């Protein structure tokens, strides 16, 4: 079985990239890393409009939430015989945490929406150590550009902004490099759904979102 969500896991609504960073950080223990490959997974598309079902912020049951991007944690078993047992930690899903990848995949993604909103088109899979070392955010992406004073669109986390230990002094905000689904822009492997199914050993086509 996968590790349980830590009792002291930190969650701030609308700050998924930081929630995942701290969760991935908490999973850096031999009892976990010897059994599981840990990934931060960015879900987006070129339009930065992705529809995800079974999200807590849905306005009503059965409707998706449209994000510009979303970030989850995925654990893949390091034992080949158990390779299909991959687990998802998504702080914003209603499906539970952790939940198996096949359940998450079937009930979060749908191809029955216009192509611009398809959330199952691309994702970037970033190994835990790279994410922890290379990610940096000054949180400027959440500032309300419509007002003159510095005001966040959503309340920021109470802890200091995150800066990976290997980020150069000039790098204070590289979030959009992780969000980008262009293979040359990011820090991990950009995969379409067929590549993910091969990587995790899961079905290729999502069922209709519910």
Catalytic-role residue among 14, 16, 144, 205:
16
Catalytic-role residue among 90, 102, 177, 189:
90
Is 173 catalytic? The answer is no
Catalytic-role residue among 29, 37, 70, 205:
70
Is 189 catalytic? The answer is no
Place of tokens 């998504």: 90
Place of tokens 């929630």: 19
Is 90 catalytic? The answer is yes
Give percent helix, percent strand, percent coil of the chain, each to the nearest 5: 25, 20, 55
- 189-191/122-127 β-pairing: antiparallel
Tokens for 20, please give them.
Answer: 């995942």
Tokens for 110, please give them.
Answer: 């749908």
Query: Sign of torsion, CA 156 70 132 150?
Result: negative
Query: Which residues are catalytically annotated?
Result: 16, 70, 90
């Amino acid at each position: 079985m996968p590790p349980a969500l830590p009792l002291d896991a930190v969650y701030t609504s609308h700050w998924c990239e930081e929630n995942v960073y701290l969760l991935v950080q908490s999973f850096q223990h031999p009892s976990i890393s010897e059994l599981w490959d840990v990934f931060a997974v960015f879900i987006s598309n070129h339009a930065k409009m992705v529809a995800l079902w079974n999200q807590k912020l849905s306005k009503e049951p059965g409707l998706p939430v449209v994000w510009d991007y979303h970030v989850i944690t995925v654990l893949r078993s390091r034992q080949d015989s158990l390779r299909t047992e991959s687990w998802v930690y998504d702080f914003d899903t209603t499906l539970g945490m952790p939940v198996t990848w096949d359940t998450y995949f079937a009930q979060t993604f749908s191809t029955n929406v216009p192509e611009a909103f398809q959330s199952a088109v691309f994702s970037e899979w970033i190994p835990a150590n790279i994410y922890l070392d290379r990610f940096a955010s000054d949180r400027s992406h959440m500032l309300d550009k419509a007002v003159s004073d510095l005001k966040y669109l959503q309340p920021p986390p109470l802890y200091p902004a995150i800066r990976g230990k290997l980020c150069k002094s000039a790098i204070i905000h590289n979030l959009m490099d992780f969000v980008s689904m262009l293979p040359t822009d990011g820090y991990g492997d950009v995969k379409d759904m067929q590549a993910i199914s091969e990587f995790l050993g899961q079905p290729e086509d999502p069922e209709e979102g519910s």
